[in-house]
Amino acid sequence: MQHHLPASPDTCAWGFFDPKREPVLTIASGDTVTIDTVSGGPDMLPGEGFHVPPELHEIHRHLKQEMPGHLLTGPVAVDGAQPGEVLEVRIDAVELRQDWGYNVIRPLAGTLPYDFDAMRKLNIPLDRQTNVGKMPWGLDLPLAPFFGVMGLAPPPHWGRISSIQPRAHAGNIDNKELVAGTTLYLPIFNEGALFSCGDGHGAQGDGEVCITAIETALAGTFTLTVRDDMQLTYPQAETPTHYITMGMDPDLDQCAVMALRDMIELLVAKAGLSREDAYTLCSLAGDLHVTQTVNGNKGIHMMMAKTLVDGTKE
């Protein structure tokens, strides 16, 4: 079944994930839902001549920002989902909802917090026909839209948490690989799973170093399926060509350790390798990427080509 979840003051949360937040929509496992999102506070709005989703003004007027963080649409409950299972999030489509985005440099933030003393906001025109962002110095930057934030409600004992730091529930992972056609796998901590998304990005480099990407409003179409045949303690993903494991921690070294350990376990399970052989393959063919360096908990993800894994298990 196909569902649609619009963004509104009633369907959005501003700044947080909360295991006690009631679902704004409940669907069956295997159903598809299109979720509309918006991005940014009133100070990020562009000048005249750009399309601003009307619900963004309504959200600014009527929704309180509970803590620093993102505008998230959700949560969506998936009927029958239980803690200990996995939610498969197939990203079927990601589409722009407006013709502009914004990028911000903020003192005391980003990867170089002391190098830039002045706040700067750029509003960047987005051309859907040519799929580029029009940068002010004349560059047409190719767009590759994805959601910076996709996640589930965190473990109940965590309570309400900011959407800024990515953790085991995923959230603000800012992984630019997760475009349309990819799949995210998330460990479930609460009944119903409680999926939310937001923080739409028109384009982002690995690192997201100045603290934002091209922040914009997106619509995402997701097929949400409960997997009782999988067990995960941390998010994983796959593209048509690669498996992805992830690590998030304030220390990038620890992020690399987390992503590597999970890739070793994935190779043992999917390719039937010994842990030693899997470790060797990671060294010879696995790629560690810096996901982002700006969210408090930084990120590393490891990518392994499926051609090196699938079909090798006897």
Delimit the domains of the chain by residue range. 2-227, 241-308
Instruction: Look up the CATH superfamily of 241-308.
Output: Acetamidase/Formamidase-like domains (3.10.28.20)
DSSP state of 207: B
Q: Looking up tokens 């934030």, which residue turns up? A: 149
Give the whole-angstrom CA distance, residue 129 versus residue 143.
11
Sheet holding 236-238, edge to edge: 2-5, 32-36, 218-227, 86-96, 183-187, 236-238, 242-249, 298-305, 287-292
CATH code linked to domain 2-227: 2.60.120.580
Burial call 100-139: b when 16+ CB within 10 Å, e when fewer: bbbbbbeeeebeeeeeeeeeeeeebebeeeebbbeeeeee
The pLDDT of residue 312 is: 59
Regions in the chain scoring below 50 on pLDDT: 314
185 Cα distance to chain centroid: 12
Task: Compute φ and ψ for 121, nearest 5 degrees.
Answer: -120, 130
312 Cα distance to chain centroid: 31
The pairing of beta strand 2-5 with beta strand 161-162 = unpaired
The pLDDT of residue 12 is: 98
Maximum C-alpha span of the chain: 62
- The H or E element spanning position 310 is none
The pLDDT of residue 311 is: 72
Q: Which of 18, 58, 66 is nearest to 38 (CA)?
A: 58
